[in-house]
Chains A and B, each alone.
Chain A
Amino acid sequence: MLPRSKVFSELGNLILFLLLEGISFYLIITYNDSQAKIYHNTINVISGNIANQASNIRGYFSLKEQNSILLKENAKLKAKLFNLTEKQGVKPEDLDLTVAQNQVFNLVSARVVNNSISLRNNFLSLNRGRKAGINENQGVIGENGVIGITKSVNDNYTTVMSIFNSQTKISARIKDKGYFGSLVWSNNGDVRFMTLNDIPKHVPIKLGDKVETSGYSNLFPSGIMLGKIVGKKIPPGSSTYELKVKLYQDMTKIKFAYVVINYETPALDSLYLQTKSL
């Protein structure tokens, strides 16, 4: 007969076997490119599906709240529309809101099926993907501000690099003053605040000044309200402010998001490449 192990029990052998296979599997998906891609794609699809189901179920419990949020947003948009028509003197139904050749932005609505805020680099998942017209490197906004930038897209799901990610930079300006800088997350784990850098120190800044998107990057339309300034300081030796911005958007509670599709991006990109190659 074959010898029985003296050192470990059969169970111990099984554990050792699983451990060694686990290490191998880890090595495979970490250091082999094609396997890593397949693994991450598969996980993306599976976890997207699971998160979608979970979010479906959770959605029922917050229907009322979500409804009122959407109603409010609707009302805000209607008010904007009426103001617009009031100024231009046409009736709302006469406004040409259909897709015209000069349309710049389009929004795709999506549900947030997965969201992290506690990591150093945070990501979200949306339940819409390439089939809905989403691509890599498009802006994602929420009801009260910016949520992030799309990172990887498959047919049905999108992974979004959250604003709470060390790689995300949002071009932002101070409302009514026009000075712009870049809004980054200072990475301190506090998801209520972000930091606005690169505003020159000669600019008069008041606490309470509002911050909005600048529209200089073609990811976001200009004028999306982001937050207000609650703290300012000039680091020693620096010529620019370091402004603490309190966000309007509560990233811990977002359920819906809009992906911004900019029809001018291809044209702008090719122009940019042309300039760069000069």
Chain B
Amino acid sequence: MNPALLNNGTRFVILLLLQVIVFGQARIGPLGPYYIDIIVFPLAYLLLPFRTPRELQYLLAFAIGLLVDLGLQSPGLHAGASVFTIAVRPIILRILEPRAGYDKLHSPTLQRFKWPWFASFISILSFVHILFYFSMEVFTPLFLGAILIKTLLSWIVSTLFIFLIVIILNPLD
């Protein structure tokens, strides 16, 4: 079996379960209305290999987003955020492109890149996902402040958890 298929498939399943069963159940609210949602599943579609066709990237991101939505009863919120984030991924990749360029066969994993690159890649895109998610969750620009505060808090905690997962599971291509 193609190892990329196996790795990514496993990641999808593990992160889906982690998100729905573990992190989705813990909504932390130390600051009254500004609760924190821990969102780690974007890692699954962010680590797709560079060679994945764009339309497949969209569909996979949409699929995992929708499955998370079904689990967390937030229809459309994560699906929309995932599709948006995967659409932004090439732009961020272009900005972060190393001088040697990317190897088509690789994935943006810690195995291929160093921490500074990997950390900026993940934190930028998880910010995009979480910002989109809370924009859709609050759904009105009237509460821009609430959107930004929730996004910022959740982004910090979520990104730390994503790094933790990466360190523990050490995902490969």
Binding site for B on A (CB under 8 A): 1-3, 5-8, 12-13, 16-17, 20-21, 23-32, 34-35, 38-39, 42
Closest to A15 in B: B55
Question: What's the dominant secondary structure at chain A's contact region?
Answer: helix
Residues of A within 8 A of B10 (CB): none
B93 within 8 A of A: yes
Shortest Cβ gap from B128 to chain A (Å): 14
- Of all A-B residue pairs in the complex, the 7 with the closest CB atoms, nearest first, are A27-B76, A24-B80, A28-B76, A31-B75, A27-B75, A24-B76, A24-B79
Binding site for A on B (CB under 8 A): 50-51, 53-55, 58-59, 62, 65, 69, 74-77, 79-80, 83-84, 87, 90, 93-94, 101-102, 104, 136-137, 139-140
Residues of A within 8 A of B75 (CB): 27-28, 30-32
Shortest Cβ gap from B133 to chain A (Å): 11
Closest to B140 in A: A38
Shortest Cβ gap from B77 to chain A (Å): 6
Q: Is the CB of A17 within 8 A of B83?
A: yes
Known contacts A32-B74, A34-B139; decide if A25 and B53 are in contact (CB<8 Å). Answer: no
Q: Is the CB of A32 within 8 A of B83?
A: no
* Other A-B pairs, 20, CB within 8 Å; known A23-B62, A26-B76: A1-B101, A1-B102, A3-B50, A6-B53, A8-B54, A8-B55, A13-B54, A13-B55, A20-B59, A21-B80, A21-B83, A23-B79, A24-B83, A27-B69, A27-B76, A27-B79, A28-B136, A30-B76, A35-B136, A35-B139
Most chain B CB inside 10 Å of its own CB: which residue of A7, A31, A32 = A32
Q: Is the CB of B62 within 8 A of A28?
A: no
Q: Is the CB of B83 within 8 A of A12?
A: no
Most chain A CB inside 10 Å of its own CB: which residue of B74, B76, B93 = B76
Task: Give the distance in Å from the alpha carbon of A23 to the alpha carbon of B102 in the complex.
Answer: 33
Shortest Cβ gap from B168 to chain A (Å): 29
Task: Give the distance in Å from the alpha carbon of A276 to the alpha carbon of B104 in the complex.
Answer: 74
Residues of B within 8 A of A6 (CB): 53
Task: Give the distance in Å from the alpha carbon of A7 to the alpha carbon of B139 in the complex.
Answer: 35
Task: Give the distance in Å from the alpha carbon of A255 to the alpha carbon of B75 in the complex.
Answer: 41
Q: Is the CB of B136 within 8 A of A12?
A: no
Q: Is the CB of B80 within 8 A of A25?
A: yes
Residues of A within 8 A of B79 (CB): 20, 23-24, 27
Task: Give the distance in Å from the alpha carbon of A79 to the alpha carbon of B139 in the complex.
Answer: 55
Shortest Cβ gap from B54 to chain A (Å): 5
Shortest Cβ gap from A216 to chain B (Å): 43
Known contacts A28-B77, A28-B136; decide if A20 and B53 are in contact (CB<8 Å). Answer: no
